[in-house]
Amino acid sequence: MNRRLFFAIDLKDAANAASREEIIALKHVMGKHGCTIPDDNLHITLAFLGNVDATQYDACCQAADAIQLPSFTIHTTKTGFFTKPQILWLGIAQSPSLARLVTPIQAIRRTVLGQSDTHSYLPHISLLRKAQPLKDDVDLRTSLQVKYFGLYASEPSPTGRGVQYICLNRWALTGASPLER
């Protein structure tokens, strides 16, 4: 059975609680401009994989097992808008540490799944879908600790409305305590 998968940084770690609350507050303030993304679905996508079978899933996990990088901090910037999917998002400042994590994960997508790069990577947190662009971008400068990354499945929500993201596997970056999982 194929599952719709993606690698991501989840924002629910305890170290990010205050920053996550700021992001949620911003999302709710802007809610009149579109449909808010559920709080539990807030994340930073590292690579979208699409439909993946069990054999490919195992190969993706084995490749991710080899990623050995230190934990790091990233910073949010300002809102932006993707026109075609009508997504209002919060940007992430350029970060060499984030780039060092994204590079091997994007390579997994290419080598294990044979997918080519269709566009350049733009780190962001989706806030609203079916959104309208804002007249002026909104700044939200907050820090996020990146201690883990995970492989997630996008599945229909049990409520029948929207999707939920299920963490299938999680990898600690060095310096992250196993107790913080």
Q: What pLDDT score does 181 carry?
A: 37
Strands 72-82 and 87-92: antiparallel
Residues that are catalytic: 43, 124
Angle between helices 96-113 and 54-65 (to 10 degrees): 140
Q: Among 170, 146, 154, which Cα is nearest to 64's?
A: 170
pLDDT for 1 equals: 74
Confidence (pLDDT) at 180: 43
- Whether the model pTM is above 0.85: yes
Averaged pLDDT, 137-159:
94
pLDDT at 44 over 50: yes
CATH topology of domain 3-175: Cyclic Phosphodiesterase; Chain: A, (3.90.1140)
Per the CB < 8 A criterion, the answer to whether 49 and 5 are in contact is: yes
pLDDT band at 176 (very low <50, low <70, confident <90, very high): low
Q: What is the pLDDT of residues 118-129, one digit of tens each?
A: 778 899 999 999
Confidence of residue 174 (pLDDT cuts 50, 70, 90): confident
Pick from 24, 53, 5: nearest CA to 127: 24
- Domain boundaries, given as residue ranges, for the chain: 3-175
70-84 tens-digit pLDDT: 999 999 999 999 998
Per DSSP, the chain holds a count of helices (H) and strands (E) of 3, 9
Distance of CA 163 to the CA centre of its chain: 15
Q: Which of 23-27, 113-117, 133-137, 138-142 has the lowest mean pLDDT?
A: 113-117
Tokens of 122: 């733009």
Strand, helix or coil at 110? helix
Task: pLDDT band for 178, please (50, 70, 90 cuts).
Answer: low
